[in-house]
Amino acid sequence: MTVFKKVTEATYLTADKASTYRAILRYFYTQHERMREFIYPVDIFVHLKKREEFSDYTMDQLHTDLEPLVKWGNIIARQEVGKVRTVDEFKKKRFRYQCSPYTVEFERMLIEMEGHGETFGGSLERTQFERLLQALEKVEDALKTEEKTEECAQRLEDVTTFFRSITKNTADYLAYLNSEKAEEKMQTEAFLAYKDQFTTYLRDFIVGMQQTSYLIQSMLKRLTVERLSPFFHKVAEHQEKAFRFEEKVQEASHEENQEKWRSLQSWFLGDAAHESEYELLEERTNESIRRITRVMQRLSERHQHFYSRKKDYLHLAKWFESMEDVSEAHHLSAVAFGLFHTKHLHTDHVPTDDIYTDVWEEEAMSHETRPRIQGYTERTKAGAIVDHTKEKEQVRKEHEERRKLEKDMVEQYIKEGRIDTEDLSEVEAYVRKLFLSWIGKAMARKDHVVKTNTGERVKVELDEKRKTVLRSTDGVMYMPVAVFHFLDRTIKAKEGEVFHGTAGV
């Protein structure tokens, strides 16, 4: 697997002399960006000597440091074939060096990371959605007209660039909001000065995103991969025109462009397995606003806790001083400080259910005040034992009669040891509730068997695919078809058949 081979080009970042190696390769990267590809050792040496930490650096040390960089693949050495001017140049073999692609990408990444420090970058730019919408409109226009291959490639590149910018900036900024440093800054009093600006920034992004995203989603639904197949072929054809010594397969480029487009659709529209990343972005942004609101509320409460009421009391004192009538001062005192010497009466009396009943409309009540002394006990009188046998017998008879009545009500619906709700015309309200209780208990058991109040075992068979109407005296209920099998009666019936067959023999 050459793709996942060991990256020796990254060794210079963790080597013992990493500071020296990084200074050398940073100079290579700077010259590469200025379109100067080949660097001579003397140029590197002059650059390093300008830095204070390299004041004692020698040319021999530079040649020694360049060797491992060549070995690791960070720079490529090319021998100068021109005429030599000194014996030292002949002995050391004059070389010029070119940085490798790995080095360029490493340094580019490091510069970007140094700009952000230890915090995430990113931003919430609603204009990126508008630019993406404009780029998608140009792609749709390209399907209606015969566009050149280079124009098709440029339009797809615009869509990819804006989409990559949206995903990268939003992900980085939300990660910044959830970072530990951002949390610490939100907990400080200084955050209150930026709360309005911060909340407005997030809300403006959500509003702008919602206004544009619906148009983007509808357009992506129209621009399917199958419809864009000719467009992707033109893009792949243009990509093949870029000369490379390595062989390229046009079908591979075509397939890669299709996968990028599917990723774009999945980000905005979602798929069968996952919801869209756009919805998650909207939810996370709203959650950030809610979190900031909660933080601001806590800070405000803390700020109010230490708030001095001195000015309020001075204003109130001047108000009292300006009054000439003491009765007006009493009224103001009652409003500002409440009533003094208020008596509170407590009772265990339960008032009427009407909450609008006034106190004087309630009946008089008596309240016994018990002394709060240790060892106090209430006086009790000896009472006789009352015989409740007749009452208990009466309650037992009523219970048995009610059970018998309920059993008779159910018996009239049993046919051949079962009750089928499809065959029922109308049932009593109690029977309907009984059926529902059987279904509820049966669904909680693996074998779907419940025991009735009369001791019989009933197996509930519920068919979710078929629906029926169960009519009762208190209304109509739509429910799945349910069949109640009385297992004990079914077993007895089968035993009777077997016994009858044996007797016949």
Same domain, 169 and 296: yes
HEC letters along 294-360: HHHHHHHHHHHHCCCCHHHHHHHHHHHHHCCCHHHHHHHHHHHHCCCCCCCCCCCCCCCCCCCCCHH
Domain boundary among 116, 149, 164: 116
| Residues 361-371: tens digit of each pLDDT | 777 777 777 78
The reply to whether 94 and 184 lie within a common domain is: no
In a domain, 417, yes or no: yes
Pair 142, 235 in one domain = yes
Is the domain of 12 the same as that of 83? yes
Q: Convert the pLDDT of each residue in 120-172 to its tens digit.
A: 556 777 788 888 888 888 888 888 777 788 888 888 888 888 888 888 888 77
**Residue 85: what pLDDT?**
61
200 and 333 share one domain? no
- Residue 412 in domain: yes
Q: Are residues 144 and 278 in the same domain?
A: yes
- The domain that holds 80 is classified in CATH as 1.10.10.10
Confidence band, pLDDT 50/70/90 cuts, at residue 501: very low
User: What residues make up the domain containing 439?
Assistant: 403-504
Q: How confident is the model at residue 223 (pLDDT cuts 50, 70, 90)?
A: confident
Rounded to 5 degrees, what angle do the CA atoms 495, 497, 499 make? 70
pLDDT number for residue 502: 35
| 59 vs 453, more confident | 59
In this predicted model, what pLDDT tens digit does every residue of 14-26 receive, in sequence order? 888 889 999 999 9
Give the total number of structural domains in the chain.
4
Same-domain check for residues 178 and 295? yes
- Residue pair 268/276 in contact (Cβ under 8 Å)? The answer is yes
pTM above 0.85, yes or no: no
Region at 81 (left for phi over 0; alpha for psi -120 to 50; beta for the rest): alpha
Instruction: Specify the pairing of strand 475-486 against strand 418-420.
Output: antiparallel
Report pLDDT digits (tens) over 391-428: 888 988 888 888 888 788 888 888 888 888 888 888 88
Q: Residue 503: is its pLDDT beyond 50? A: no
On average, the pLDDT of the chain sits at: 79
Closest among 330, 287, 277, 324 to 171, alpha carbons compared: 277
